[in-house]
A and B are shown apart, each in its own frame.
Chain A
Amino acid sequence: MTTTDDTKARHTEYHPSTREYVRVGLILVAFTCLEVWLSYSSLSGTPLIAALLTCTLIKFLMVIGYFMHLKFDNGRFSRTFALGAIGAFTLYAAVLLMFGVWGK
């Protein structure tokens, strides 16, 4: 019985409905519109870059959380991806810092 129950449990993970997916899609479109508007606005320098990167981060997290199911899936998948994503960010941020890109 245990094997069958385990197998069933693995297949009964939560999946958002079509309505929820459309809602997430519309939020992503709204953030993209905001990004484009920001790039044409009078905002410049660090505030502009900070605002754009915040929008990008929100969109990134929404896609991996909802469309890629990480929000609902086993935490090990999240940790596996985070290992690559955070590892890459840390490594390349260090490279950019080393070359003084953020000081320009």
Chain B
Amino acid sequence: MADVTAPDIVLDEHYTSTGLRSTKLAMWLFLASECLLFGGLITAYILYRGASLTGPYPQDVFDIGYTSVSSFVLLASSLTMVLAHNAALDKDFPRMRLWLTGTAMLGLTFVGGQVFEFTSFYREGLTIKTNLFGTTFYTLTGFHGVHVTVGVLMLLILVVMSWRGSLSDEPAFPVEMVGLYWHFVDIVWIVIFTLVYLIPSPQGPIR
């Protein structure tokens, strides 16, 4: 006991009896619960796929080329996020802020693209009340968009905290936690992109 210093004791309070950091375990539990949320929304979309009695149908409104670009933007943001984490581990804070800001900008680009997509669908007559496709599509992609927006806010808060020097003495950890959330949002989009946009709907192939 004699060689256990005060900082060690404080640091150990963050760990569970399993040796795992409680915040990280909580984040993984949260992400596991998010699987159930998005699983439910994706299932609702699949369940009512091709069940709309009136148009517009998916093949009338989807633009695969445009959505593919959005997917590449979100994939790129996952890469910049891990580069921010690597910079935080190296304690290279200017580089960390650069990559975090880049990730936030890519996230904003994705959300902007989604707002543009929703607006164009609305102009083509697809609202959340139009048909089952509209209801399930807007609910699923809308929830995802909200998650991306929350992620962008968390990234910007990290950048501001880093500027003000108010990040903890172990800055890689909060970056890693926000990163886990960000990558989760990315994997949800990977699934949505395939199941919603790429797999043809029963009404005919999406072109």
Contacts and interface: CB of A to CB of B under 8 A. Distances in A.
A16 to B, nearest CB: 8
Contacts of A6: 19
A35 B197 CA distance: 11
B32 A84 contact: yes
B200 interface: yes
Contacts of A28: 75, 78
Interface string B21-46: 10011001101111110111011001
B3 A4 contact: yes
B57 to A, nearest CB: 16
B61 interface: no
A7 B12 contact: yes
Nearest to A63: B187
Q: DSSP class of A's interface residues: helix, strand, loop or mixed?
A: helix
A55 B199 CA distance: 12
A29 B205 contact: no
Contacts of A74: 19-20
Q: How many interface residues does chain A have, given as a range? A: 35 or more
B64 A56 contact: no
A49 B79 CA distance: 27
B83 interface: yes
A18 B86 CA distance: 7
B28 A77 contact: yes
A36 B20 CA distance: 40
Nearest to B43: A92
B174 interface: no
Contacts of B15: 10
B98 interface: no
Given A77-B24, A89-B39, A92-B40, A44 B190 contact: no
Given A63-B187, A81-B31, 7 more contacts: A39-B198, A56-B191, A59-B187, A77-B28, A84-B34, A101-B46, A101-B47
Interface of A: 1, 3-4, 6-7, 10, 15-18, 21-22, 24-25, 28-29, 32, 35-36, 38-40, 44, 48-49, 52-53, 55-56, 59-60, 63-64, 66-69, 74, 76-77, 80-81, 83-85, 87-89, 91-92, 95-96, 99, 101, 104
Nearest 5 CB-CB pairs, A to B? Answer: A84-B32, A88-B39, A25-B79, A84-B35, A92-B43
